A and B are shown apart, each in its own frame.
Chain A
């Protein structure tokens, strides 16, 4: 395989003062190829946003910080890059859109200014050039009356419109990677579908790679090439979307998939995963999922399972999977 665009290696994110740290992301590794769409799924609080913020080095510090690992983007380690070097990458090479479109835009600046300033800072455009660039972006993300919208303030726009503006800001400089952190969670269903469609169109048009974070497995199935399933700060299963959805190998993934309500299957009651996501201050030893696992064995309580290859390109961190593989 060719060298990936982005490789995260053994990432560790911790919170709190030295000595009393809580580990929020623990030894996470992932790769992203050029033009690839990677989905990251997992329950609330499992560390998806932190992983995304780490890549742009935006973890709020204090209290949080990157305590270990590498984030390699085209040979450069972003985990240890200078703030100045990061500012050349943020918004230019790697962009991010956020979960909350209502609060992500600055209330006291006009839309046109908020899109245009990225073009001025990164591409050195003049005000007039940046304005026409912003206009083009607004048109491209499907906002009606773009010329008029340039002069409006965020409070004059609906949530869906604001998320479109965020997308316009993020893509104005044609980045190589777009990180979308639950871009549709705060929107209503019809708007969700429109935004996802727009993202997919823009992805193939610009040929960029996308990291799509969500806890909506339905979204993942529609859009992504590859998927990584996170649980309590670790990746428990990773593979092509087809493989993970058709042959889920980790018990957590299986339960996650079963918990999606479907119309065709007659279900008496909604499946849920018993138990709760462990809190950071009280992480179980061994496999972090073992207290909730229907298939738990004594060894699961002892040591964290390594990641095993179930099939080429499809890995899962579960000793049951390993035994299964050896048995075959």
Chain B
């Protein structure tokens, strides 16, 4: 599970010195449900520098996923401004947004969201398919990414033949395939046991150490401990935004946890 190849993670040095990677100003999201309006976000402003590792916490329904969807350019705010690498995303076309999702953002979901009946390798290749990388290069880069998450030997396996933790690592490899500058993970450990969850956090910490900006949603305070910064949502607002002075180191925690080997 050693992180063997550093080239896959884009260096954060060039953008960190200037504008923040993410700037959100007064973002609101209102859903119209028949007569009633649902205010999922009621004015959120936050700035995230390149190289940061943010954990978002908050009660169910507080707007975390809605916020992540906006950060991921899957959704547009009802009001407010979102700048990604200094670019105002609200002015972009659907096609441009697809391009940003493809090139700059990697997604990791709670339910893994791998394509069924498709090998780990092919799943990992998928984002490169849409950035028009040749088949040969797709394969070599996908193998690299799988090696990075410690799954080099599972490349030809189908999702159904992998454990939850392994599936989530395939999903991470897929998210890394196009060398994004931002990794968004909405409850990535929600479906995993605690040891596997820490293993995932170990991967995230190593990726972050190489400069990858990570925004992670979690319900578990233990998991949030591995981030550098904690933002708490409540009722569509940011209630708290703290820098964690000394985050836990996942690889150290792993040593203290019992391994359940068979």
A binds B: no
Q: A residues engaging B (CB < 8 A)?
A: none
